[in-house]
Structure 1
Amino acid sequence: MTLSEPELRAAITRELPGVRADLERLVRIPGIAFDGFDHSHVERSAEAVAELLRGCGLDTRIVRSGGGLPAVIGSRPAPPGAPTVLLYAHHDVQPVGDLALWESDPFVAVERDGRLYGRGAADDKAGVMAHVAALRAYGDELPVGVVIFVEGEEEFGSASLEQLLAEHRDALAADVIVIADSGNWDIGVPALTTSLRGIVNMFVEVRTADHAIHSGMFGGAVPDSLTVLAKLLATLHDDAGDVAVDGLVSAGPTPVDYPEDRLRVEAGLLDGVSFVGTGRLTERIWHRPAVSVLGIDAPRTAEAPNALAPSAKAKLSVRLAPGDDPKSAYAAMKAHLEKHVPWGAHVEVTFEHDGAPCVIDATGPMFDAARDAFRTAWDGVDPVDIGVGGSIPFIATFQEMFPGAAILVTGVEDPHAQAHGPNESLHLGEFARVCLAEALLLRSVADAAGPLAS
């Protein structure tokens, strides 16, 4: 007999102090998988996660593929006739950026006004600890089989993930996959993520001369590379701010919309700055392509001579609407940039990386079970089906490798979490609900799996 709802609530309440303490310990480990960082911290992070899973009674091992960074797999077999649930999270984190923008040490968890601040406190070490909280709540009375897969290089592009999944496919096979790496609609309103945009990152470099030349003697006749680059980048959008690249796909309408004042606050948009594009805000950020300039290589203003720069380079990021293909999108961007470069300047477009968008058909008994669990954990508040403008490309990989599994994309973040930015934080009240929701979900999946088990 599995634990009742009141018993699960009591168990989560009992376990939360220890779960938070372990989360704070994980935050102290600067496990950044990006090139140029000390990867021994990623190794430490994997060891810490493995220790947590072993403490939950899971058969646990650290795995890697080729030169990839360590992931952790922990498992406990299903009771007779019960389904198996794969619980995913990642233990690596983003770089912290400019330390001056942080109000406290990013690798020391600090509570302020009901939020826990620190790099990875939300994305995604809290996802790891939500899984641990559910397991600790059940103890030896887990109603389903569980496989926990905690990746170690998600923030750096999951380069070895597909090979890891292939190598451990049998061990990771499950009826339901819970990916705890997204967010909720708002504080107090849970959500299931049903679509995510894809991504293509690239570099574009323009050249106008073989060396820098005097801006007074040649300016007015010879184009400088920065002006060429600026004019080229300006062709990527029309006057309204919609993407103006032929060949990029847009998806269908969205069922909900963002209130403009809410999005302005969440984005930190300055007074007088308008939104770009047309249509509902959720369509613009969930179901349409977006092209952003992430950086430019050019002389620094404080050091720039009175000379025409012979070359300039920009990094572009394209978010792809659900249904688009990264390879065709890159081809469309490359063709556009080559076609629109002004004044005959030389242009070179270089691919960096891509990831596929995904759409999830969130119907069926397992999705109903998830919604019931969320509704209960949030005291009667109905969950919202949302899209996400960001990208989790490996979800498409899970869909391809485990086509029979129901994939539930959940998360611990809220619109104020500032994941990837300075002062990332976790709303502790929402985290408690997330932990309860996952515990309830495991019980609901077991109840809903009667037809599957038979």
Structure 2
Amino acid sequence: MGTPSAEQLRTAISGLMPEIIEELKAMVAIPSVAFPAFPSEPVLAMAQRAVDAFARYGVDAHLEEIPDGYPAVWAEIAGPPGAPTVLLYGHYDVQPAPADGWDSDPWVPTEKDGRIFGRGAADDKSGIAIHLATLAAFGGRPPVNITLVLEGEEETVSHLEAFVAAHPERFAADVMLVADMGNLTVGEPVLSTGLRGHVKAIVEVETLADPVHSGLFGGAAPDALMALIKLLATVAGDDGASAIPGISGFEWEGADYSEEMLRANAGVLDGVELVGSGPIASRLWSRPSISVLGIDAPSVDEGGNVLQPRARAVVAMRIPPGQDPDAAMDALVGFLEANVPWHAKVTVTPNKKSPPFSQGTDGTAFAAMREALAEAYGTEVGQVGSGGSIPLLDELRKASPDADFLLIGAEDAELSRIHGPNESVDVTEIEHMALAQALLLARLGDR
């Protein structure tokens, strides 16, 4: 039996969609939050649910133990002799879902206006659905070698990264197909070619031995919280852009991101100015940004009339593709240490470091995926970046340095609201992405 034609694949995936969406809904109903404080039973149940789903479409998947972490859903499918190897990646764990802000129960998949609402519907159980439909279109026997890896800890501290580093041969592939991204707008396909990295540090400022009366000593004795506030104010310029020196950046040359879309997607309040300057795509994808993610300080309701002896915060910087993360961490730590006021005692502790990622556009698989997306969607394909980070990509690149990385998915930037309330996915995006993947595998199998 030969490789199905493009029209046969389109027909097959269209016919599969009702049952694939039912599979997705069943997965969304499982609260697979892998954070340490959450129960393990739903996470393991979700992993087994994914194994069973692939088995229904002829794929012999199993749970692969990952030391100290949740298992990966794993499958290896042998293609014809000489065929290239494609690694399909996604993740089955999800973010927590506090009830505030949701219009429906986050663990009860709800269909409305062509979208499925629920935690993980987009990020990243839609990626699992894409891979499921892709392989189902070939009856579980695609024309290339497949390694399927669904991670269980992408949203928390990942143990898969160490597993890749310890067993790089198991992740060797010609193409890395990562279905954990998305288009800016439904129906307008893009390929992501760069992701910012992430460095975080915890800064603690100390000024006094103990809390003291703000009336008796205020005006002469230094308040640690005020010192911390003054220090944090130096990390950004007047326009809100990062003021940390020595961090590289460049102008984005692909698709732009309109101010109207940014305001809508981020929920910027009317009258509030955006930060930074220049093209928004550059601000989001190819320049550094700086944020204060948390402060330890007395609450408004519990604050007494005292000067604080110590205060601390976590400062995070997103770094653009091409920036060395070690140098970026050194720059952040050095800046915080050098700018604390009043010679206050300051301790800066590096907390987390994720490298940025970039993918060239001249690979054969990249070109083939561009063609496949154009055929699946019936329109031209854009090129975008991402402000977020996927640290695993760096380890996968070390395992397969010559592989083409194809970053796609059904998480549209306009309406998916990943990590927030009312997360959702457009079902047509799953269908189009699955068709594009299937067309790509057919093209690669014919080479």
Do Structure 1 and Structure 2 share a fold, with TM-score over 0.5? yes
Matching of residues 30-429 of structure 1 within 5 Å: 30-96=31-97, 98-139=98-139, 142-158=142-158, 160-379=159-378, 381-415=379-413, 416-429=415-428
CA distance in 1, matches of 2:302, 2:376: 57
Runs of 4+ in 1 over 6 A off after TM superposition: none
CA distance in 1, matches of 2:341, 2:258: 39
Instruction: Please give the secondary structure, in 2, of the residue aligned with 1:292.
Output: strand
- Give the CA deviation at 1:252: 4.3
The letter for the 2-side match of 1:420 is H
* CA offsets 1:51-110 (integer angstroms, 9 cap, x no match): 1222232332212332121111111101123222110001111112x3122111111111
For structure 1, which segment, 169-178 or 303-312, has the greater mean C-alpha deviation from structure 2 after superposition? 169-178
- Give the CA deviation at 1:184: 1.0
CA distance in 2, matches of 1:254, 1:282: 9
Taking every aligned residue pair, what percent have the same amino acid on both sides? 43
Superposition TM-score, scaled by structure 2 size: 0.96
CA distance in 2, matches of 1:139, 1:308: 69
**Structure 1 residues 206, 140: CA separation in 2 closer, same or farther (over 3 Å shift)?**
closer
CA distance in 2, matches of 1:226, 1:282: 35
Instruction: Please give the secondary structure, in 1, of the residue aligned with 2:191.
Output: strand
- Give the CA deviation at 1:12: 0.9
For structure 1, which segment, 433-442 or 175-184, has the greater mean C-alpha deviation from structure 2 after superposition? 433-442
CA contact (8 A) 1:251 1:287 kept: yes
CA distance in 2, matches of 1:34, 1:4: 43
CA distance in 2, matches of 1:55, 1:20: 14
Instruction: Please give the secondary structure, in 2, of the residue aligned with 1:303.
Output: coil
The letter for the 1-side match of 2:355 is A
Residue 6, structure 1, aligned to residue 28, structure 2: no
CA contact (8 A) 1:64 1:164 kept: no
Instruction: Please give the secondary structure, in 2, of the residue aligned with 1:23.
Output: helix
CA distance in 1, matches of 2:339, 2:140: 64
CA contact (8 A) 2:46 2:92 kept: yes
CA contact (8 A) 2:88 2:179 kept: yes
CA contact (8 A) 1:212 1:307 kept: yes
CA contact (8 A) 1:197 1:322 kept: yes
Matching of residues 429-440 of structure 1 within 5 Å: 429-440=428-439
**Structure 1 residues 389, 27: CA separation in 2 closer, same or farther (over 3 Å shift)?**
same
CA distance in 1, matches of 2:140, 2:131: 15
CA contact (8 A) 2:193 2:383 kept: yes
Instruction: Please give the secondary structure, in 2, of the residue aligned with 1:302.
Output: coil
Structure 1 spans left out of the alignment, 5+ residues:
none
CA distance in 1, matches of 2:157, 2:8: 40
Give the superposed CA RMSD: 1.5
The letter for the 2-side match of 1:364 is G
CA distance in 1, matches of 2:141, 2:48: 26
Superposition TM-score, scaled by structure 1 size: 0.95
CA contact (8 A) 2:17 2:133 kept: yes
CA contact (8 A) 1:202 1:349 kept: yes
- Give the CA deviation at 1:140: 5.2
CA distance in 2, matches of 1:173, 1:53: 22
Instruction: Please give the secondary structure, in 2, of the residue aligned with 1:99.
Output: coil
- Give the CA deviation at 1:433: 1.3
The letter for the 1-side match of 2:445 is A
CA contact (8 A) 2:29 2:107 kept: yes
The letter for the 1-side match of 2:85 is T
CA distance in 1, matches of 2:355, 2:56: 36
The letter for the 2-side match of 1:33 is A
The letter for the 1-side match of 2:403 is A
Number of positions where the alignment pairs a residue of Structure 1 with one of Structure 2: 445
* CA offsets 1:384-424 (integer angstroms, 9 cap, x no match): 11111111121121111101221111111111211111111
Instruction: Please give the secondary structure, in 2, of the residue aligned with 1:204.
Output: strand
- Give the CA deviation at 1:253: 3.7
**Structure 1 residues 140, 256: CA separation in 2 closer, same or farther (over 3 Å shift)?**
closer
